[in-house]
Amino acid sequence: MDIRTQPLAAAPAPVLRADYAPPVWQVPEIALEFDLDPARTQVTGRLSVVRAGTGPLRLDGDGLTADAVSVDGVPADWTMDGDQLVIDLAGDAHLVEIRVTIAPEANTQLMGLYASDGLLCTQCEAEGFRRIMFFPDRPDVLARYAVRLVADRARYPVLLSNGDHVDSGTLPDGRHYADWRDPFPKPSYLFALVAGDLAVNRDSFVTGSGKVVELGIWVREHDLGRTGHAMHALKTAMAWDERVYGREYDLGVFNIVAVSDFNFGAMENKGLNIFNSRYVLADPDTATDQDYDAVATVVAHEYFHNWSGNRVTCRDWFQLSLKEGFTVFRDQQYSADQGSAAVKRIEDVRVLRAAQFPEDGGPLAHPIRPDSYIEISNFYTATIYNKGAEVIRMMHTMLGEAAFRAGSDLYFDRHDGTAATCEDFVAAMEDASGHDLGMFRLWYRQAGTPRVHAALDFDAPGGRARLRLQQVVPATPGQPDKQAMPMPLRIALFGEVSGTKLLPEQTVMLDGAHQEILFEGIGERPVLSINRGFSAPVTIESDRSAADLAFLSAHDDDPFARYEAMQQLMVDTLVDDVATGNADLTPVIAAVKATLADPALEPAFVAEAVLLPSEAYLGDQMPVVDPQAVTRAWDRLRGALGAELIADWRGVYAGMAAGGDSLEAAGKGMRRLRGVALGYIVASGAADGPALAAAQYEAAGTMTDRQTALSALAMTASAERDAAFAAFHARYADNGLVLDKWFQTQALAPRSDTIDVVERLARHPDFVMTNPNRLRSLVGAFAVNQRAFHDPSGRGYRFLGEMVVAIDRINPQTAAKLVPPLGRWSRFDAARGAMMRAELERVLGTEGLSKDVFEQVSKSLG
Ligand code: 0A1
Ligand code: ZN
């Protein structure tokens, strides 16, 4: 780091995985009492502490001061060591009582106990509990919780916490209370409470062993009609986890609460999940089909954590992917089972490529089990979650369904009620299956996306084909030299003439840096289909021609590989066009036409297949990103596809209208394809494009159709565009989640003036800096809009830098998550790179910067 830019305060010290030491004190029981008030909440903690090693009792705190401390009923001596409260205890077991006072309404970080829209709620993962009570706030300290909540009855009629509700009543002063007991020992990050004026959608679920579970989804009264889909998802997820993983729910109650201000998607607190309201609320007028799917996936994800995360938790935060990678894999399997598995896989890979691949290739790259962090909140990343899920998926592919299930049974069995490690998971998989996963463990240690080069030679007279594979794992920060990683590659060969598979699909284990595979009895020139189903999270480099890719896009019988062939054809064409400005577009146009005309394909698949890769993804394929050249090529191909196939798009557009407003999978797929067709019609430049989109906007019976029309109009400079955005804002002025779409659609618009629009929107009265969803909708969306963010003036960078500094004063976690787009400076030309770095330096020089932003910015500068 440049010495001149070092902040005045010393750089915060990193926490190292190698420094793990077991806790010196355990806390098997804790009683908590909350006297709730937004300005002044008193919290009393009674901790039964038991010695497990040598040393004083050290309790983590963050912004807390102890009002009173006693040990075994006697006022005690204590000291503060930084943020830790330290008590020298003579014996091996004591009762420590501590009282603190906190101010939830002043808590804008949304960690610990905070106020949101009149409610009081908590977020404790990863280190929020220490903002509520002094405690060994680490996941390997598991306690049984007894909680009393006391509050004003009129203002906070509903009082919820983890576990079972055991008592409630009125106190002599008129305030009311509720007592909750959670019989399962848990780490402090799973503690939760909610108080407020909430309505409930109640239902129940009978488990496989006949236990009745009371289900509740708690929301503001006016949102009650939007909770049906989440409830349906919850019940199907509960049944699915019993059927597929043999996991039954363990408490008599399962509650979900929706809150408007939330740093992440949702939180798996034991028996009391707290959700960002965007992943609970859905009805056809306010939620798109995509929103419906996201609600179901997140509800399932949090529910699945009850086993993968809660019953078996993490020993330390370096093991975060133990619960997150596995749980994402589980929610992906669940969602694949609810609809089209092929389309789900395509969507998951698109997310991985858009969010994780750039992370893996940039200054913030880290292994799925990192070795160090400054602020753990910065490690809730696409790498830990999505690449983590891919690593689990590879084990599933290598072991097969039955052995994988035996491994997961063994894992849950062995580690139930304890805090485990990634190593424990892999060992359970090995022990149950007899598979050696020795070298596979490299996936936990090494960062970076492997590149696999594949070349296929055909010896026609000998009837033999030879596949040569070569693997390179690129250097990443702190890891200059890498070892080759074992990976399963699903492979097939197709006959160029017959159009059929020449041999049954094989799963080839690529075990080293080089490998050759010989195929015998090949009677015609074979075309290679590789990494089918995206069996390994790698980049494949092959020399397949445009003709071969077009062939696969029409003949491959693996839907993912078929999609992939079309994408690769588009990428190759666009990259060529970026370089030459006159690439031959006809193979793409012909392949898209053939896909649109294939009656055997489901509409949802066709919609994915004919969509162009994003400008950002194209940038990722170039040695130095030239955003303007990418935009030129992208617009040219999109316009040509629209214009050349205009009759086809109009035909699809009319044909897909039959999907109507049905919420079934078929209706959803038709709406999706219809929306893609509308986009191409508008992109074709046809004179009636804006009017057609405006007509769809007017007639829309669902948010999906309305939002699709709005996105299509956002590309245009038309009176229809302005009218639709004004109408949308007026119609949904009092619905924050829908207003987020209004901001986001404008921030994502592929237009050269988007930067002006975004700067203006940042001054709009509805742009509230305290709400993370709103920040992500405008600032987060803008920063991934390559053509807008990388405006040659550098205004995009300045805008983001200023936002990061301003948001950091309110909510460091959310500010830190906005930094990575600036960290991609080395991927751009010298002029852009210098402006991006200058912005990072400016942020780093800001006084009073949080640890969160400090870590992201200093690492981004490299
Ligand atoms: N465990 C949650 C993610 C989460 C992490 C941190 C949070 O607050 C700062 C909230 C949620 C999940 O995987 O869903
Ligand atoms: Zn999770």
ipTM for the predicted complex comes to 0.98
Tell me, yes or no, whether 528 lies in a domain: yes
The β-bridge relationship of strands 41-51 and 93-102 is antiparallel
In this predicted structure, the answer to whether residue 419 has a pLDDT above a threshold of 90 is yes
Q: How many domains does the chain have?
A: 3
In this predicted structure, the answer to whether residue 2 has a pLDDT above a threshold of 90 is no
CA of 124 to the centre of ligand 2 (A): 13
How many Cβ atoms from other residues are within 10 Å of residue 22's Cβ? 12
Could you tell me if the CB of 267 is within 6 A of ligand 1? Answer: yes
Could you tell me if the CB of 572 is within 6 A of ligand 1? Answer: no
Which positions ≥6 away from 28 have C-beta within 8 Å? 48, 50, 142, 143, 144, 185
The protein residues having their C-beta less than 5 angstroms from ligand 2 (an ion) are: 324, 327
Q: What is the model's pTM? A: 0.98
Q: Are residues 394 and 326 in the same domain?
A: yes
The CA-CA-CA angle for residues 349, 350, 354, to 5°, reads: 115
CA 243 to chain centre: 25
**Residue 769, CA atoms < 13 Å, CB-side half-sphere:** 15
- Nearest listed ligand to the Cα of residue 264: 1
Query: Position of tokens 């001061």?
Result: 65
Q: Are residues 479 and 426 in the same domain?
A: no
Query: Position of tokens 């909680």?
Result: 147
Distance CA(649)–CA(554), nearest Å, equals: 19
pLDDT band at 403 (very low <50, low <70, confident <90, very high): very high
Give me the domain span that covers residue 329: 313-445
| pLDDT digit string, tens, across residues 666-683 | 999 999 999 999 999 999
Substitution candidate for ligand 1 out of 125, 257, 269 with most atoms within 8 A of CB: 125
Distance CA(283)–CA(286), nearest Å, equals: 6
Q: Are 664 and 603 in contact (CB under 8 A)?
A: no
Could you tell me if the CB of 324 is within 6 A of ligand 1? Answer: yes
Could you tell me if the CB of 125 is within 6 A of ligand 1? Answer: yes
Q: Which of 549, 373, 374 is nearest to 10 (CA)?
A: 374
Name the closest-CA residue to atom 2, ligand 1. Answer: 267
CA of 123 to the centre of ligand 1 (A): 8
CA of 139 to the centre of ligand 1 (A): 14
Helix (H), strand (E), coil (C) string for 796-850: HHHHHHHHHHHHHCCCHHHHHHCCHHHHHHHHECHHHHHHHHHHHHHHHCCCCCC
| CATH number of the structural domain spanning residue 477 | 2.60.40.1840
In this predicted structure, the answer to whether residue 5 has a pLDDT above a threshold of 50 is no
Q: Are residues 412 and 514 in the same domain?
A: no
In this predicted structure, the answer to whether residue 9 has a pLDDT above a threshold of 90 is no
Tell me, yes or no, whether 326 lies in a domain: yes
Q: Specify the 3-state DSSP secondary structure of 582.
A: coil
Distance CA(700)–CA(92), nearest Å, equals: 68
Could you tell me if the CB of 266 is within 6 A of ligand 1? Answer: yes
Q: Looking at ligand 1, which atom is closest to the CA of residue 110?
A: 9
Q: Which of 163, 335, 326 is nearest to 240 (CA)?
A: 335
Phi first, then psi: give them for residue 644, nearest 5 degrees. Answer: -65, -35
Distance CA(758)–CA(748), nearest Å, equals: 10
Distance CA(728)–CA(733), nearest Å, equals: 8
Beta bridge partners of 114: 121
- Nearest listed ligand to the Cα of residue 330: 2
Query: Position of tokens 């004179």?
Result: 687
| pLDDT digit string, tens, across residues 789-834 | 999 999 999 999 999 999 999 999 999 999 999 999 999 999 999 9
Tell me, yes or no, whether 340 lies in a domain: yes
Tell me, yes or no, whether 746 lies in a domain: yes
Could you tell me if the CB of 114 is within 6 A of ligand 1? Answer: no
In this predicted structure, the answer to whether residue 156 has a pLDDT above a threshold of 50 is yes
Q: Specify the 3-state DSSP secondary structure of 91.
A: coil
pLDDT band at 532 (very low <50, low <70, confident <90, very high): very high
Q: Which of 471, 502, 536 is the last residue of a domain?
A: 536
Q: Which of 505, 536, 567 is the last residue of a domain?
A: 536
CA of 309 to the centre of ligand 2 (A): 8
| CATH number of the structural domain spanning residue 774 | 1.25.50.10
Tell me, yes or no, whether 46 lies in a domain: no
CA 457 to chain centre: 40
Could you tell me if the CB of 331 is within 6 A of ligand 1? Answer: no
Determine whether 718 is exposed, middle or buried from the number of CB atoms within 10 Å of its CB (0-12, 13-18, 19+).
middle
CA of 265 to the centre of ligand 1 (A): 7
Could you tell me if the CB of 127 is within 6 A of ligand 1? Answer: no
Q: What is the arithmetic mean of pLDDT over 204-226?
A: 98
Tell me, yes or no, whether 781 lies in a domain: yes
Angle of helix 559-580 relative to helix 546-555, nearest 10 degrees, comes to 150
Amino acid 10: pLDDT: 74
In this predicted structure, the answer to whether residue 578 has a pLDDT above a threshold of 80 is yes
Q: Are 145 and 32 in contact (CB under 8 A)?
A: yes
Active site residue 302: yes
| pLDDT digit string, tens, across residues 238-267 | 999 999 999 999 999 999 999 999 999 999
| Amino acid at the residue 84 | Q
The CA-CA-CA angle for residues 694, 696, 697, to 5°, reads: 60
Distance CA(763)–CA(767), nearest Å, equals: 7
Structure token digits, residue 700: 């829309």
CA of 202 to the centre of ligand 1 (A): 25
Tell me, yes or no, whether 424 lies in a domain: yes
Q: Are residues 745 and 782 in the same domain?
A: yes
- Nearest listed ligand to the Cα of residue 269: 1
- Nearest listed ligand to the Cα of residue 298: 1
The CA-CA-CA angle for residues 35, 40, 43, to 5°, reads: 40
CA of 311 to the centre of ligand 2 (A): 14
CA of 327 to the centre of ligand 2 (A): 6
The β-bridge relationship of strands 313-314 and 419-420 is parallel
Q: Are residues 738 and 850 in the same domain?
A: yes
Q: What is the arithmetic mean of pLDDT over 594-600?
A: 98
How many Cβ atoms from other residues are within 10 Å of residue 623's Cβ? 6
| pLDDT digit string, tens, across residues 363-382 | 999 999 999 999 999 999 99
pLDDT band at 1 (very low <50, low <70, confident <90, very high): very low
In this predicted structure, the answer to whether residue 113 has a pLDDT above a threshold of 50 is yes
Q: Are residues 361 and 456 in the same domain?
A: no
Q: Are residues 361 and 455 in the same domain?
A: no
Angle of helix 586-597 relative to helix 646-655, nearest 10 degrees, comes to 20
Cis peptide, bond prior to residue 126, ω within 30 of zero? yes
How many Cβ atoms from other residues are within 10 Å of residue 847's Cβ? 7
- Nearest listed ligand to the Cα of residue 852: 1
Distance CA(855)–CA(851), nearest Å, equals: 6
CA of 343 to the centre of ligand 1 (A): 26
Q: What share of the chain is helix, strand, coil (3-state, %, to 5)?
A: 45, 20, 30
Distance CA(609)–CA(564), nearest Å, equals: 8
- Nearest listed ligand to the Cα of residue 129: 1
Q: Are residues 511 and 465 in the same domain?
A: yes
The CA-CA-CA angle for residues 857, 859, 862, to 5°, reads: 115
| CATH number of the structural domain spanning residue 344 | 1.10.390.10
| Amino acid at the residue 92 | D
Substitution candidate for ligand 1 out of 262, 267, 330 with most atoms within 8 A of CB: 267
Distance CA(790)–CA(628), nearest Å, equals: 9
Phi first, then psi: give them for residue 539, nearest 5 degrees. Answer: -100, 125
Could you tell me if the CB of 264 is within 6 A of ligand 1? Answer: yes
Name the closest-CA residue to atom 13, ligand 1. Answer: 324
Could you tell me if the CB of 357 is within 6 A of ligand 1? Answer: no
Q: Are residues 326 and 417 in the same domain?
A: yes
Name the closest-CA residue to atom 12, ligand 1. Answer: 267
How many Cβ atoms from other residues are within 10 Å of residue 164's Cβ? 15
Q: Are 292 and 663 in contact (CB under 8 A)?
A: yes
The CA-CA-CA angle for residues 344, 346, 348, to 5°, reads: 70
Q: Are residues 432 and 468 in the same domain?
A: no
DSSP line for 419-439: EE-HHHHHHHHHHHH----TG
Could you tell me if the CB of 556 is within 6 A of ligand 1? Answer: no
The CA-CA-CA angle for residues 457, 461, 467, to 5°, reads: 20
Distance CA(794)–CA(835), nearest Å, equals: 6
Could you tell me if the CB of 123 is within 6 A of ligand 1? Answer: yes
Helix (H), strand (E), coil (C) string for 641-697: HHHHCHHHHHHHHHHHHHHCCCCCHHHHHHHHHHHHHHHHHHHCCCCCHHHHHHHHH
Q: Are 359 and 382 in contact (CB under 8 A)?
A: yes
CA of 441 to the centre of ligand 2 (A): 22
Phi first, then psi: give them for residue 377, nearest 5 degrees. Answer: -60, -25
Tell me, yes or no, whether 758 lies in a domain: yes
Could you tell me if the CB of 651 is within 6 A of ligand 1? Answer: no
Substitution candidate for ligand 1 out of 380, 384, 386 with most atoms within 8 A of CB: 380
Q: Are 69 and 54 in contact (CB under 8 A)?
A: no
Catalytic residue among 127, 302, 324, 359: 302
| pLDDT digit string, tens, across residues 28-48 | 999 999 999 999 999 999 999
Substitution candidate for ligand 1 out of 107, 129, 132, 264 with most atoms within 8 A of CB: 264
Name the closest-CA residue to atom 3, ligand 1. Answer: 267
Could you tell me if the CB of 263 is within 6 A of ligand 1? Answer: yes
| Long-range pairs, 54-57, Cβ under 8 A, ≥24 | 54/24, 55/24, 56/24, 56/86, 56/87, 56/88, 56/89, 57/24, 57/25, 57/86, 57/87, 57/88, 57/89, 57/94, 57/96
Q: Are residues 737 and 862 in the same domain?
A: yes
Q: Which of 429, 445, 461 is the last residue of a domain?
A: 445
Q: Are residues 421 and 477 in the same domain?
A: no
CA of 189 to the centre of ligand 1 (A): 10
Mean pLDDT of the chain: 97
